[in-house]
Amino acid sequence: MGTLQQLKLWYKDLISVIYPALCEVCDSTLVHGEEAICLDCLMNLPRCNIHNDPFNTMHQRLMGHAPIERAAAYFHYYRESKYTRLIHAAKYSGRPRIAELLANRFASEISGDRFFDGIDLIIPVPLHKTKIMKRGYNQSFHIALGLSRATGIGIGDNLIATRSHTTQTKHNSYTRWLNSQNIYEVQAPHTLTGKHILIVDDVLTTGATLLACCEAIHKAEPSAKISVLTLALTQLQ
Ligand SMILES: [Zn+2]
């Protein structure tokens, strides 16, 4: 090990003594081998467990022109639940590594059910470049990274956001849907011919964003099969 690496490790140890790493969910101190989330919280994660259902709630929310093959979400996003902190940390607090870790773990949990069989490419829901500049990263790309590391499936950058969303949280679902129309473009669609693509995002709410991505790909390359995966799934009011 080089001196610099040793120094880095030593520094990391020192930091963890001064600021011990805490569980993002319950704030308990993490022990060796735990990262971002403690074992208790991981065990009690409100898992969706819907990935084996061929017409689950995600399929239902994403009904449009593009047929959806498989759909998976890791955990339920209840507004009052402490588990929402995982998404907030990954999305707004500059810790995309959490998205990567969760995605990696989710992939390991469902690959035994052959969820990833036949999937050729993972494509993250893109963020507009002004938003990337502001946030510094696209959390969906980090989800793709975690999945890719667990499955060996490559990541594609075919989807691009041509304009920025207005903040969606205050809008109703129809306005959200209108807002997300024609935001996404597909680059090099010929590279997707006959491929099975997994589109990934952090949270599925109404499905407007993911639906717009699926439709853009379906329109640009109708022979591509499409599956979807998100980390969290909200309840619809
Ligand atoms: Zn915890």
Q: What pLDDT is attached to residue 32?
A: 86
* 225 CA distance to ligand 1 middle (Å): 38
Q: What pLDDT is attached to residue 184?
A: 93
Averaged over successive runs of 10 residues, the pLDDT of the chain (237 residues) comes to 79 71 94 92 97 97 94 95 95 92 97 97 95 92 98 97 67 66 90 98 94 95 98 89
* 189 CA distance to ligand 1 middle (Å): 43
How many other CB atoms are found less than 10 A from the CB of residue 76?
17
Please give the Cα distance from 112 to 110 (Å, whole number): 5
Q: What pLDDT is attached to residue 48?
A: 97
Q: What pLDDT is attached to residue 107?
A: 98
* 30 CA distance to ligand 1 middle (Å): 8
User: CA of 71: how far to CAs of 16, 226, 233, in Å?
Assistant: 38, 9, 11
**pTM, rounded to two decimals:** 0.88
Q: What pLDDT is attached to residue 168?
A: 53
Cβ-based burial of 185 (10 A; exposed 0-12, middle 13-18, buried ≥19):
middle
Q: Say how many CA atoms lie within 13 Å of 133 toward its Cβ.
A: 4
* 13 CA distance to ligand 1 middle (Å): 21
DSSP 8-state symbol, 22: B
Q: What pLDDT is attached to residue 82?
A: 96
Q: What pLDDT is attached to residue 33?
A: 87
User: Rounded to a whole number, what is the largest CA-CA distance in the chain?
Assistant: 58
* 155 CA distance to ligand 1 middle (Å): 31
User: CA of 79: how far to CAs of 73, 84, 221, in Å?
Assistant: 16, 7, 37
Please give the Cα distance from 30 to 13 (Å, whole number): 13
Q: What pLDDT is attached to residue 2?
A: 77
* 28 CA distance to ligand 1 middle (Å): 6
Q: What pLDDT is attached to residue 167?
A: 53
Q: Which long-range contacts (C-beta less than 8 Å, at least 24 apart) are formed by 111-115?
A: 111/150, 111/151, 113/51, 113/52, 115/51, 115/70, 115/72
Concatenated DSSP letters for 179-202? HHTT-EEESSGGGGTT-EEEEEEE
DSSP 8-state symbol, 177: H
CATH topology for 45-234 is Rossmann fold (3.40.50)
**Matching residue, tokens 């590391």:** 149
For residue 224, give both structure tokens. 């591509």
In the chain, residues under CATH classification 3.40.50.2020 are 45-234
Q: What pLDDT is attached to residue 7?
A: 83
* 164 CA distance to ligand 1 middle (Å): 35
* 33 CA distance to ligand 1 middle (Å): 13
